[in-house]
Structure 1
Amino acid sequence: MMKIRAWAQYYVDMLTKLGVIRFSILSAATVIFFSITIQASINYILRGQVKLDDLYAAILFAIIVTPWVVFFLSIVVQQLEHSRKRLSKMVYKLQEVRARDLQLQQELQVNIIELNAEFEERKKAEADRNQAFKDLENEVFQREQAQLVVEERSALVRSFIDSSPDLVYYSNEQGQFSGCNLAMEALTGKIEKELIGLTPFDAFDTEIAAKFAATDKAVLNTKLPETYEQWLTYPDGHKACFELRKVPFFGRRNEYIGVLGYGRDITERKKYQDALEKASRDKTTFISTISHELRTPLNGVVGLSRILLDSSLNAEQRQHLNTIYVSAQTMGNIFNDIIDLDKFDRRKFEIVNQPIEFRSFLNDIETLAQLQVAQKGLVLAFDIFGDIPDFINADGTRMRQVLWNLVSNAVKFTDSGEISIRIFTSEEANNKIGLTFEVEDTGIGISADGQDKIFAMYYQEQGSKRATGTGIGLAVAKSLMTAMGGDIWVSSELGKGSCFTIEFDVDGVDSLLPSGTADSEQTKLSILLVEDIELNVTVCTAILNKLGHTVEVAVDGRSAIQMAENNSYDLIFLDINLPDISGFEIIKTLRENKTLELPPVVALTANVINNRQEYIEKGMDDAISKPLSINAVTGVISRLFSKVEKGDEPNLHYTADGVADEQEMLDEYLDIDLLQQYLDTLGKDLLLQSVRLFEQTMPHYLTLLNTNLTARDQDAIVDEAHKIKGAAGSVGLIRIQQVSQLAQSPEQPTWWENIDDWVEQINTEYQYDVKRLKTWIENQDG
């Protein structure tokens, strides 16, 4: 097989070397030669001879056929050779390609291995990344959930803060607001976005802002909380009292970033406190009234006991009567202390200075002291140093109370020896007189520690069996002296006695008449006094007689009615509480008497008078409280009988049918001339419309007035009173206008003492006056 391939290759090589034609000729010759040889051999073998014709035929056939066959084969072979060569080249190339492919395959295998490794790594990394993504997603989810929780909590906290009625705000270190709640927005009139970046001076009035900013600054500087109360003003003008709590404000990283403030509205608490104080004052007045009523019989017991002690009595009677006398006197002193203690707790002592006869005052003190020291067998030394004025302007009741307390204590703590009372006077500038009283005893004395505490409330010297009182007398005395502008102190030594000293200044006066009042200014009147208590009758009669009036007395209601109907009086003082019928029933009966021309009637009451109008509406012309004083009596007479001359409020005169003259009554409440002009100009409908507008605006004015009164803001009170005065004047409410005029006049010396009553009068009476005004308008023609 290999030889055949070799011959075939040789054939091809020859063909390639000789070319087709030459190789074809050579091949044809070779074929002819072999054809002749084979033909001759076959013929010879078969026939035994060789014929030339057969040779010629073979030669001819070979010559004709062989070249074409050889040529064709040569062409085929040549093509095949060419194909082989090409194929060889292709094989070679394929081998190269295969080798390269093998190399590439090897490289591919390496790459595949590397890729597989990388794939595994990537797969692992992908798995790690996926896990990381999952962890990150979980973390993001958790954060989102946490953020939602934080947002929900923040929203809840914000909602809670906004729904809180308390102020909440926070400011930065520059004192600028950084945020607030709805309550703060309502207070400032600015929403949070507008408030951020502003200072308190941009949000509040200067006075309010100054304190607001100062406390913020104090918290910023000290980093300590601060709590205080401050009145703040809303945009509509009404005030509210806030208890402000300001604390340092720290961020999430505990860095200091400003001030956090809270404010609770305590206006109602303030009003409640004021109401309690007013109730306490009313209670004090009630207690004072009761004390007045109880002192009347108590003074009778003391006075009658003292008179009986001067009469002929046996030893046992004298002892019993002396016990009654001392007990009644002690009871009166303790009751006085309790009364004044209540005043001390609730309100400042009221000092009423009026002219008193000083020598008579000193004689009373000496007489009392003499009675007390005589009961214990002590000696009284009563000495006066200096010139004693005939009259001084002072509160004699309070002076007696202090001195009686000192004398009583001196007698109580002294068993033997002497009680000394020394009075020193000195003249000072501007008609001032300096008074010094010393009350010295030889009793048990006071320890050094006790001297520092002796004027404290309820203090009693330890170990002293004599300290059986209330322990408030000296505390009250100290407060009274302070209220009178003076002082009290003690010097003492145990076992050797004590010396109490009081010192104060008074004004010197020329007579007992009130300052600025002459006898000629008082009309001499015939007065009916209706009073059932003998002591009150004595006091009232003495006052009225001293003022130059004549007095007749009725001790019960029926006698008063009979005397009023059968006699002509210029004035009636009528007690409200009588043993048979009340003063209001008496005045009603007298008003119903159509034949009687009744003079002015003044109610005498032991109760506090908050609203004089209540008494007037029940038929009285005026009212004053008991016990009577010269100032009260002269004041009411001046109001009732000097009004026409001085141009003040007109007096009420009642007609025979018991109804007050309508015009004069209306003149007290309404400016009739002004209203008539309005009626003629505007007409009834427009005037009523103005009155209704006044009714609509008054509640707002009163709200501001009341809150400012609670805040004790004088300027704001005056401002609101001025507005009310103008509004009342515009619709002819003359009484409200006049009260508002008082309320807007703080220059009056007793403005603060009376402003509560004026405001209360405006609050309670303006509606009554508006009702009268509407009735008057509706009754007019047209």
Structure 2
Amino acid sequence: MKHASLRMDKLARSSQRLNKTLLLLSGLLMLLSSTCYWAVSRLLESEQQRLELHFARVVEIINEHEVFLRDVVTSNRQSAFSLAQLAHPVSVVESLPIPGRTLLKARGLEMSLAFSLAYSSGYTAADVRRALALGVELTDYYGGFWARSFYASPQVFVLAPGRASLAIPYAGDQRQHLPLLPQHYMAAVDRLGQLMATPGLLADQRVHWLRSPAPLYDDNLRIVAMIRFDADYTLHPAGTPQQPLALAAVMDTEQIDEFERVLRLSVYNQFTLISPEGDVLMGELGVDDAAPLGLSFNGDGLRFKMKAAEGRPWTGLYAITYQNFLRYAKWPLLGLGLTFIAAIILGLWIDHWFKSRIVVPAQRAQDRLAENEAFNRIILHNAPVGLCVVRRYDRQLLLENERAVQWGIASAVTHVLAQHHGDQAPGEMCLLVEGHYLQAVVVASRYDGQDVFLCGCNDVTRHVDENQLLNQARRQATAANEAKTVFLATMSHEIRTPLYGVLGNLELLSLTDLGERQRHYLEIIESSCAVLFQLISNVLDVSKIESGQMALEQVPFDPHQLVEDAVASFTATAHNKGLQIDSEIDPAMPALVEGDAGRIRQVLNNLLGNAIKFTDCGRVRLRLTVQERAGDSVLVQWQVTDTGKGIPEKAIEHLFKPFYQVSGGEEGGGAGLGLSICSRLSELMGGSMRVVSELGLGSSLSLIVRLPVVESSRAVTPAQFVPSYTQVPSLDVRVLVAEDNPVSQAVMAEQLTALGAHPTVVSDGQQALDAWSAQAFDLVITDINMPRLNGYAFTRALREKGVSVPIIGITANALREEGERCLAAGMNAWLVKPLSLGGLRQALISQCRRAAGQGAAVPEEDEDRSGWIELSDPMRQLLAETLLADVAQIEQGLAHGDAALVQQRLHSLCGALASVHAKGLYEVCQRVEEALHEAPMKGLLAEQVRALCTRLGVVAQCLLDDFSG
């Protein structure tokens, strides 16, 4: 349909262009025709003017000759020629004998015009003198007359037939255009003598014009004018009968036009001269020469007939052939003809091309349009949707199909459009017609040359019903999901709060003096509580992953250190079970990569814990290998292998499913969430988990993930560390604690007191505000969920008062949105229950610079920081993070009584501190490590370890502060 419309549009555009071209060509044709008509008319007019000029000169020459002849005759009659005139001087220049005649060349004076005299035998000397005297007279008059004339002088003869003749100028005069030669003289005289025999020629004194029957001389046709000359005694011998003489003038028509004479190019092809008596003196008359005056045309060419306007009615008839008329335009006209033929051929080709490429496809397109229109009408009336067309300006219904009539949508649509103002279509809407929900779409269009609205309706009653059911089900599911989230948050809070009381009191109990048996029971309780805490954490991790609350951090970390930390964490557990545990690191592993080290450590801890749990003898090994390095990223594999009993093949495919346990929970307990969480975490990091196991030989579980490589900077910033320990006192700080749970209140107070702080505990936010108004505090710790005034409102109230001290939120809800709300309310940090002493101390150190260490253990600057090498900013940050991580591991070892873990971390710290020339801290770490080899980690030695952790935390915090500053 669209293609057909394009064809029709193309035809319309081509027709318009063709019409414009034809109009333009018509205009050009009219212009060219007018120009050609004007040019031809101008050419004909010019040609006619030239011929009129030629004819006028012919008539003028004829009249000039007639005047000359009449004047000669009249002058001779009046002069009464006598013998006295014979006294004129005359000289014979030359005498030539010719057959039957004597031809003399004579002149009157030396510079006079010469003339010729021819006479027969019987002439005496006196007769010759008389004839010569007449010649002198005529020559003088001839010279005087034609010297004043514009035209060329004729050849004049005085004829006495059979006896004598005079010729002026003489025969052989080369100044004439067609000179009369001596050898032609007698022939010319004889032919003129024949003309004298014309009846009535010498009967009167009129000038008679005669046509020469044959060329007089030089094969040129001339006309001859004759008149009777009454001087017969001058040429006749004395004593002979006197006969009339004839004065003849031979007119050369070629002397009329100088252009014709000089260029030898005639302005006509044929010239016919007709005397007033009707005699044809020049040219020939044909049977079709009865031409009208002026211009006429015949098959041979152009005919111009002219009559003398004055004097005697001479008639001239000019014939010019078409070839001669167009001789200057022969090649242009030939080119024009060829161009015209080429234009015709080109026009025929264009016509063929236009028909084959435009007209015929347009006709086919028109046929297809007609077929499509019929087909569309069939579709319109049989479509399963209701369609109607409404005129736009008056909302009048123009067309509707059967389904629209069946549903009765026309009235509803026109009513809606009547309420809609403007030419813009209302778009999509929903109509309720007779209990049916109709989805209607109204668009603006054109129909039958009018602006219309096209409305299409579809019955969506069933879909609306289903959608309502789905919405109801979705609301129920959302409510159930929200209830589950509220349940998890509530259970997290309700479980973590008493668990905080248990773990906090156990940790405080471990700081008291206990017997061996009591400490053994305490370790069992702590281990069980740790399992319970891990179970709760796993459930919450699953909940966070499913709800999209699990967030990953992308920070640089040392993979070598991560492997060592993971192995060190499980060294004591493995040794207690009689297992060997070690690590193997690929030398190609980069020093720094970027990723979430905490989540990777969580996966490795789970894999190592499972390997130790299900291995009775042998060893457990953690391998770190580089699978592939491409550009700025590396594909890393952490592989945990063991020599346990292995995993059945049918259980491998279910291994990462939630709550699935290979042994059904018979060994080691647990809920079967660990590996499921590992798999989900690997997917979040863009990696994968791989399992290889053989029954009786052991298992291998791997985490494969691609991580960006962080290039270590070799540039050293010339900055001198001068930390101000006077601004970083010990934990001798005043802390305001807002907590509604009595058990949590007691535990928090004991923990802060154990850390050297001075806590003030209140039950809700309102009491906390009152306590803040009573005295000043260095730090605030507030629970989130409290009666009267919760932690969010309490924090906002403090911030509105301009309080800038650090505020730490304590919550039992581990979801990410809880932490975001805490930070949005104005808190500096948030912690999740249960809280350990190490975690609480680290939070205090990081949030309050006055809580950077114990007052009795503040080291001097020269002891801990003097002598250090200059470090770049990335190296300073990495060292601070490493120190904090090691301190956390040492505190964990202290809490669990794991002396091996503490020794391993202290040994690692010795190497790091020695590399930066931290001599004081290096020596303390070395002494404590050696003491742990010799004595158990109890009493004073444990206090020394805690003091060392405090010093290391202070140094790490200073490094972080300098880096951020």
Q: TM-score, normalised by structure 1?
A: 0.39
Name the larger-Rg structure.
2
Q: TM-score, normalised by structure 2?
A: 0.32
Structure (1/2) with the larger strand percentage: 2
